[in-house]
Amino acid sequence: MTRTFLATLALTLTFAAPALAQDNGLTVYTSQHQALTQEWADAFTAKTGIPVAIRKGTDVLMANQIVQEGLNSPADIFLTENSPAMMMVQDADLFLPVAPETLANTPEQFRPESGMWTGIAARTTMLVYNTEMISEDELPVSMLDLANPEWQGRWGAAPAGADFQAIVSALLELRGTEETANWLVGLKQNALPYRGNFEAMRGANVGEVAAALIYNYYYFGDQAGTGESSNKLKVHYFANKDPGAFVSVSGGGVLKASDNPEAAQQFLAFVTGPEGQAILRDGHSYEYAIASGIEPNPALPPLSTIDSPDIDPSLLNAQEVVQLMTAAGVI
Amino acid sequence: MTVLHIANLGKTYGTTTALAGINLDVAMGSRTVIVGPSGSGKTTLLRLIAGFETPDEGKIELNGELIADPEVGVPAHRRNIGLVMQEGALFPHLSVLDNICFGIRSEADASARALALMDLTELDRSMAQRQPHQLSGGQQQRVALARALARQPRLMLLDEPFSALDAGLREQMRDATAQILAQAGVATVLVTHDRDEAMGFADQLVILRDGRLVQAGSPKALYRRPIDATTAAFLGAAIILPADFSGRVAECALGALPLPEDDTAEGTGTVLIRPEQVTIGPAPNSTEWKVASVLDRGNKSTVTIERLYRGQMATISFDHVSAQVLEAGQAVQVSVTGTVHPLRG
Amino acid sequence: MHQALPSKGRAGVPMRLYRHRRRGASPFVLAAAIAVAALSLLPVGFVLVVLFQSGWDTASALLFRPRIGELLINTMLLEVLAVPLSIALALALAWLTERSDLKWRALWRWLAVAPLAIPAFVQAYAWDSAIPVLRGLWPAVLVSVLAYFPLVYLPVIAQLRRLDPAMEDVAATLGTRPLAVFLRVVLPQLRLAISGGALLIALHLLSEYGLYVLIRYDTLTVAIVSQFQAVYDGPAANLMGIVLVFLAVIFLAAEAWLRGERRYARVGGGAARQVALVKLGIWWPLFMALPLLVTVLAIGLPVVTLLRWLLIGGIESWHLPQLVSATWQTAGYALAGAVTVCIMALPIAWLAARAPGPVQKTLENIHFQVGALPGVIVALALVAVTVRVALPLYQTIATLLLAYVLLYLPRAIVSVRASLAQVPIELERAATALGRPPLVAVVGVTLRLAFPGIAAGMALVAMGITTELTATLMLSPIGTETLATQFWARTGEFDHVGAAPFALAMVVLSLPLCIILHSQATGARSS
């Protein structure tokens, strides 16, 4: 029996060993898609031999975490889906400046002037609608119309997610606190909250709601696959530089806490370089490639066709959005 | 008039025969005790009567109505047969009064009747609100009895009701129960493995062994005239000797003993003599019996006597209560009073 | 007066006199138990500190806002619907499988325990992907009941088997119909089992996260995790945590009140014989419809959905390297956690079995109350503490294991205490009399004999860890991907096909849980 006990203990330690192992390569905190980050990491490791560990979270969660960890953070690199989270880390002065040659990969409109981080990809905001429930002429002209009474219970979104919060931060930047707060109240009354964009889209597809405010890649991803969650849907882009036509920039930056900043800079250069951007173009993420002159995935409508508002990504404020949404009872 | 009539009742579990060919009648107001060792089938018989088991053979009638045969049966809760179990089986979540009222809850005068039953079973009315765990074993049995009586059952079944009690209390409860049931006028079937309990309680005693009814009758009749040696020994101390029978005479080591007029036999067999029929005294001249050994325990002694009878040594041991002092080797004279009983089988 | 006597012990070893030890618990064991109890108080301390630090204005602004009221109503609606329905379902199934002559009772009994092998969030994933429009209160109630009713069913059948069947026989002879017998005689004696199981369900519903996210029903815990993911260690999440703790405490108190002081133990020993079974007669198909329906809904639907996704995905969808690595890491955490938890349970379990008293009772209560706190609170507390005062421990395996300790300590104590209590102290004394020093006697005799029971406790803890989602999501170190977190990440990225193998792995790893719990309830193994 003693032997069994010891055997159990030994087995435990053997099992626990891999969990205890920490490699000495790069650690990436990412709120980007797990699969996309993994593809970047694998390709980078294949090219350089530097191992990459990934911790996945959501934008603001990861940003807050980095802020609280400060210079003790185990992370070397931070990748996000949206820019407000990058600004939280920048405001806490935890980024190293991005290498100038890396910055040059990304066009100016997709990166902040500070040069503390850079754009790595972009996504567009859009409304998908169920053609069986709503006709084209009933579609809202502006995203703000969705707060009107006629939309009560008819649209869905994923307000707890970072994507939606980025959209709200764009609204906040364009229209100010009061209008944003009012719109959030309308949202609370009108919209069905979903766990994520995909669920919101599927909700529209199965007719739970007539329309859903989501990012583009959920729709195109599903269309490229089985299409079973989007086959009844059509896409509507808001025009006239509406907040609902917001193009969100995904960011990447090197952290001051990095104990291997050179490799970290190398990683960021790789992601924004031709190889990294080609992964965006050819992969299944359906986000827009924006850097190194790589064309986006041909399945996506060109960014130039979208009448998006001009927003400096460095002006988007995540914290105020969370406060406004908490006050409105959305989260 | 017969309350319970059981005919050719049988029950098997898989390949095991629990009961077979049971015939039994219970008269109104009478007390029947079914006695047998564990595994004899007495509990099965009780459960068949109560309605917890279905017979594979035969039938059971209550007051002339069929209540069970292999095809049909009245469910237990419709039979109105009372049941008192070994440890009382009081509902632990109910007070004494609620326990007694359990079966008559819907009736208007339930409480009054329950209190009357407490009087009958000699439970102080102040105990009405007590919880079962606050009662002594004897009190619990009285509550169980009152609870079963409340519905004025057509028949009362008692399943080893006194065996969990202390020895002294057991006898007292037995007599009290008999008296209460007599007052209530309910026919009763009690099962037990305890001989004293059976003998002390029964009008009719039923011996069960290996699922079969061995013998039934009054305790006195069964004691005097058991059907076989095992029954004889079960019901009390017995001296069983080989004997030659010829009409009303049994010839054995204790001499030629008389048989009752209606209990004659022929040929060879064994004869039963109860120790209390035997008188023994010193007789220096006797050549027949002599004391082989004496185990003196103060108030009584176990005496073993022996004699040469028909070329073989016959030995008898019995408890002997007497002021007379017997010693080993002493010659004694032995006499038998009353008639003796030829055993068959 | 004590002097070394010049006498000789066995084999010429001189005998020495030692000062008498005070009776009662060894100070070492007591200190260890106190240390574990103090550790257990960490989350409670966290809640109090948060309340104190955030100040009245912030606290009241964040606590008394409509959103909290809404979440509170959602949570309570769920509780008042799902808990009684679970009890009713568990009782009906328990009656059918223990007290009626329903065909294939043993099979139905297994199938009534089997839903425990399907983690609640996997159950919800199956329902959600089978019927995508399921959303809101009633679906949440349905899936909660299906996932958690065995937590009442198990203690109820265990208690049914301990009840004296004589009670039910007597009730029948008193003219009570079978159903009335169950309601008037059996049910009151199941009070302990029901209230204990109901408390477990209530606490599970309180702390469940994945299920309600997938069914899109906002409870307090869902909102806390949302806030946490939006803001990390922020006041809104922590203050909602206080509301959650408050509810947990109310449930604990309610259970204590319902349970009452009285205990209805059977007067005699174990059930002497099988109780008479109620004959269902020609109505049996009607009665069989219930377990059949429950099986179809609670096991059939998730299993078929899982298999469907596995089939659709084919072998490519298995992501074998990740599946193997996640299984490996999950197993590592589960085993390491189980061993740690059981070792930490030993001191208090030892005191409870060998030196019961008021101090021990208090310590034990502390251990148990903390086990009632939702995983999200434990995780919030550990994040806050490690980030603020113990940064080296932040995001380490040690912290995650500590969370598991806090979450699963009660489970372990119950098992370890029971198995220690089954080893007669006489054996230990005999070993001492045969010349073994006390500690050697304890390790060599008592722990060795108690090991099977302790191992069963470890298995329970290990399986809990295997399917733990909330705390693991919030605390796992970098690079950690357990089956639960992988599954969760994939369902979040609408990858039903990719999630299925991870769900299947969790179900397979949880099957032994059912076997252990089933045999404990039916008395097949333990005494």
B chain contacts of residue C177, beta-carbon cutoff 8 Å: 77
User: Are C336 and A16 within 8 A, CB to CB?
Assistant: yes
pLDDT confidence band for C6 (50 / 70 / 90): very low
A chain contacts of residue C214, beta-carbon cutoff 8 Å: 195
User: What ranges in C423-469 are assigned the alpha helix state H?
Assistant: 425-433, 438-441, 448-466
**Residue C254 scores a pLDDT above 80:** yes
C-alpha distance from residue C123 to each of B244, C139, C156, C470, C517 (Å)? 85, 12, 23, 16, 20
B chain contacts of residue C169, beta-carbon cutoff 8 Å: 47, 50, 52, 76, 83, 85, 89
pLDDT confidence band for A1 (50 / 70 / 90): very low
Task: Give the other-Cβ count within 10 Å of C322's Cβ.
Answer: 16
pLDDT digits (tens, 9 = 90+) for A237-273: 999 899 999 999 999 999 999 989 999 999 999 999 9
> What pLDDT sits at residue B124?
92
Does residue C336 belong to the interface with chain A, where contact is any CB pair within 8 Å? Answer: yes
User: Are B151 and C174 within 8 A, CB to CB?
Assistant: yes
Please measure the distance between the N-terminal and C-terminal CA atoms of chain A and give it in whole angstroms.
53
C319 to chain A, minimum CA–CA distance in Å?
12
The average pLDDT across A152-167 equals 88
The average pLDDT across C200-229 equals 87
Task: Give the other-Cβ count within 10 Å of C109's Cβ.
Answer: 21
The average pLDDT across C66-76 equals 91
C chain contacts of residue B75, beta-carbon cutoff 8 Å: 172, 178
C138 to chain B, minimum CA–CA distance in Å?
36
**Residue C126 scores a pLDDT above 70:** yes
Name residue B307's beta-bridge partners.
B314
Mean pLDDT of chain C: 82
B45 to chain C, minimum CA–CA distance in Å?
14
> What pLDDT sits at residue C255?
82
User: Using CB atoms, which chains have 3+ pairs under 8 A with B?
Assistant: C
Q: Which residue has the higher pLDDT, C12 or B41?
A: B41
Name residue B266's beta-bridge partners.
B246
Mean pLDDT of chain B: 89
The average pLDDT across C57-85 equals 90
> What pLDDT sits at residue C20?
62
Q: Do chains B and A touch (3 or more CB pairs under 8 A)?
A: no
pLDDT digits (tens, 9 = 90+) for A271-329: 999 999 999 998 888 999 999 888 888 888 998 899 999 888 888 877 788 889 888 88
pLDDT digits (tens, 9 = 90+) for A86-144: 988 999 999 999 999 999 999 998 999 899 999 999 999 999 999 999 999 999 999 99
For residue B25, give the 3-state DSSP assignment. Answer: strand
> What pLDDT sits at residue A152?
93
Name residue A62's beta-bridge partners.
none
**Residue B33 scores a pLDDT above 90:** yes
Q: How far apart are CA B240 and CA B318, in angstroms?
A: 11
pTM of the complete model: 0.79
The average pLDDT across C331-352 equals 89
B chain contacts of residue C191, beta-carbon cutoff 8 Å: 93
Q: Which residue has the higher pLDDT, A46 or C453?
A: A46
Which chain C residue is nearest to residue B77, measuring alpha carbons? C175
Q: Indicate if the alpha-carbon torsion angle A86, A89, A93, A97 is positive or negative.
A: negative
pLDDT digits (tens, 9 = 90+) for A173-217: 999 999 999 999 999 999 988 878 888 998 899 888 999 999 999
pLDDT confidence band for C415 (50 / 70 / 90): confident
C188 to chain B, minimum CA–CA distance in Å?
7
Residue A305 burial class via C-beta count within 10 angstroms: exposed 0-12, middle 13-18, buried 19 and up: exposed
Give which of B32, B343, B45 is closest to B205, Cα–Cα.
B32
Q: How far apart are CA A16 and CA C340, in angstroms?
A: 12
Instruction: Give me the interface pTM, i.e. the ipTM.
Output: 0.80
> What pLDDT sits at residue C425?
76
C215 to chain A, minimum CA–CA distance in Å?
9
- Among C47-56, C409-418, C462-471, which range has the highest average pLDDT? C462-471
User: Are C169 and B81 within 8 A, CB to CB?
Assistant: no
> What pLDDT sits at residue B209?
92
**Residue C269 scores a pLDDT above 50:** no
Cross-chain CB nearest to C175 (options B53, B77, B131): B77
**Residue B292 scores a pLDDT above 80:** yes
B127 and B96 in contact (C-beta within 8 Å)?
yes
Query: In the structure encoding, which two tokens stand for residue C219, read together?
Result: 């409870």
How far does Cα B265 stand from its chain's mean position? 27
For residue C527, give the 3-state DSSP assignment. Answer: coil
Mean pLDDT of chain A: 87
**Residue A22 scores a pLDDT above 60:** no
C207 and C220 in contact (C-beta within 8 Å)?
no
Cross-chain CB nearest to C232 (options A65, A203, A327): A65
User: Are C65 and A2 within 8 A, CB to CB?
Assistant: no
A301 and A288 in contact (C-beta within 8 Å)?
no
Cross-chain CB nearest to C233 (options A8, A64, A75): A64
What percentage of chain C carries pLDDT values higher than 70?
90
> What pLDDT sits at residue A213?
94
> What pLDDT sits at residue A6?
43
> What pLDDT sits at residue A205?
92
Query: In the structure encoding, which two tokens stand for residue A276, read together?
Result: 């990294």
